[in-house]
Amino acid sequence: MTFVIMTGGIDLSVGGIAALASVVAALTSSHGFFYALFAAVIAGTLVGIVNGIVVAWMRVPPFIATLATLYIVRGVALRLINDAASVNLDQKSDFITIAGTTVGDGFLNPPVPFTIPLLLVAFLIGILVLRYTRFGRYVLAIGGNPEAAQLMGLPVKRTLFWVYTLSGALAGLVGVLLAINLNGGSATEGNGWELIAIAAVVVGGTLLTGGVGSVFGTLVGVLLLGTIVEILQLENNYTLDHGGGLYLNSFWQNVIRGIFLLIVVLLQSRLQQKRARQRT
């Protein structure tokens, strides 16, 4: 999502892609973990390719293109499991064994799931790509001024295509993690995940207008939002255990997330206005 927003675009389909990928992973889990992983990522990549073609070459606004894709992939996910809500993993497959693997046994207490290092590696690769590759510079240039990037001869359409393809592929990977957590695939999960992802990116300092941002900032945004949610959850548990009168259910948690995001966006807007005045 960071790369998408840095180009000045948006991807509303990632929650649906994750749900579809979780269903694909569950349906193919009988063939083994890596087969299911490959199938789920390919499913996400194909959806990302469609988004990239529609946005880059057909010039459909990203909001409309990815919103349409969101509904399509959720419908496909439901059709794959005959309109059922979920499908279980094959319990005889090595998917269950590998999914339960942990790292840090012996020096971490408790050891962490192997998915945590996997996600950190993904962030590290994103940081290196943005900072040290031509592709990363193209992304920032296109987000800063797409017309100027086009006049400079930068491959604007091709870069946009790969950005949305990457977003789909990583959402497919998230679908595998979702299948691990649920012990199956669900066509109804992932509702609102795209908004949480956008919030984390914006909180991490990436401008919604594009051209400015960092993957490391997004990691900070993810951890910050996660910390806020965890604090709210602890407050909920404390209230329930001690019979308090204030109970922060999921509704109020979403309200607080939204208020926090609004504050960050307003601060970004003020900062942009200040920079514009300084330039003039």
Kindly provide the b/e burial profile for residues 71-109, where b requires at least 16 CB atoms within 10 angstroms of the residue's own CB: eebbebbbebbeeeebbebbeebebeeebeeeeeeeeee
- Rounded to the nearest angstrom, the gap between the alpha carbon of residue 47 and the centroid of all alpha carbons in its chain is 14
Q: Residue 151 has which token pair?
A: 């006049």
Half-sphere exposure (CA, 13 Å, Cβ side) for 164? 29
Q: What is the pLDDT of residue 103?
A: 76
For the chain, how big is the Rg over CA atoms in Å?
20
Which amino acid is located at 114 in the chain? Answer: F
Kindly provide the b/e burial profile for residues 23-34, where b requires at least 16 CB atoms within 10 angstroms of the residue's own CB: bbbbbbbeeebe
Q: What does the pLDDT look like over 112-146, one tens digit per residue?
A: 888 888 888 999 999 999 999 999 999 999 998 88
Q: Residue 204 has which token pair?
A: 């991490």
Dihedral angle of Cα 253, 126, 171, 93, to the nearest 10 degrees? -110
Give the pLDDT of the chain (280 residues) as one tens digit per residue: 999 999 999 999 999 999 999 999 999 998 888 999 999 999 999 999 999 999 999 999 999 999 999 999 999 988 887 767 788 888 888 887 887 788 776 666 677 888 888 888 999 999 999 999 999 999 999 998 888 998 988 999 999 999 999 999 999 999 999 998 888 888 888 888 888 899 889 888 888 888 888 999 999 988 888 887 777 666 666 555 555 545 556 666 677 777 877 887 787 777 777 767 776 6
